[in-house]
Amino acid sequence: ELKVEQNPLFLSMQEGKNYTIYCNYSTTSDRLYWYRQDPGKSLESLFVLLSNGAVKQEGRLMASLDTKARLSTLHITAAVHDLSATYFCAVDMENYGGSQGNLIFGKGTKLSVKP
């Protein structure tokens, strides 16, 4: 069974601190996505990681992909309150009998940044 596991599922941080969210997946895939979701809202695309060793940064967020370890990380630097949201990673099912563009999501990491 294809699994995408995120940890932690809940994360409470102080402003200014650093932390990493982990995303493990159980099949070979060279495409991994990170999304942000605010309460009651839809999914906002943050990063698309397309190859082993890919690293992308946007503001205080940096995502990386290790396809050999089947691991992606989302690193938060000097957290601010505006980053409070739920973060999802997703893997493309193309290498698991699915079709390109069919995504399997993790359960999400609910991040709360407190002053």
Partner 1 sequence: DAGVTQSPTHLIKTRGQHVTLRCSPISGHKSVSWYQQVLGQGPQFIFQYYEKEERGRGNFPDRFSARQFPNYSSELNVNALLLGDSALYLCASSLIARGLTEAFFGQGTRLTVV
> Is residue 54 classed as helix, strand or coil in its secondary structure?
coil
Q: Enumerate residues 30-69 that contact partner 1 by CB under 8 A.
A: 31, 33, 35, 41-45, 48, 50
Q: Kind of pairing, strands 103-105 and 4-7?
A: unpaired
Contacting residue, 65, 88, 91, 111, with partner 1 by CB under 8 A:
88
User: CA-CA distance, 49 to 51, in Å (whole number)?
Assistant: 6
> Is residue 96 classed as helix, strand or coil in its secondary structure?
helix
C-alpha 44, offset from chain centre: 12
User: CA-CA distance, 89 to 104, in Å (whole number)?
Assistant: 8
Binding-residue total with partner 1 (CB under 8 A): 26
Q: Does 93 bind partner 1 (CB under 8 A)?
A: yes
User: CA-CA distance, 36 to 53, in Å (whole number)?
Assistant: 22
Q: Does 2 bind partner 1 (CB under 8 A)?
A: no
Q: Does 103 bind partner 1 (CB under 8 A)?
A: yes
Contacting residue, 63, 65, 91, 106, with partner 1 by CB under 8 A:
106
Q: Which window, 12-20, 60-68, 71-79, 95-103, contacts partner 1 (CB under 8 A)?
A: 95-103
Q: Which window, 12-20, 64-72, 77-85, 101-109, contacts partner 1 (CB under 8 A)?
A: 101-109
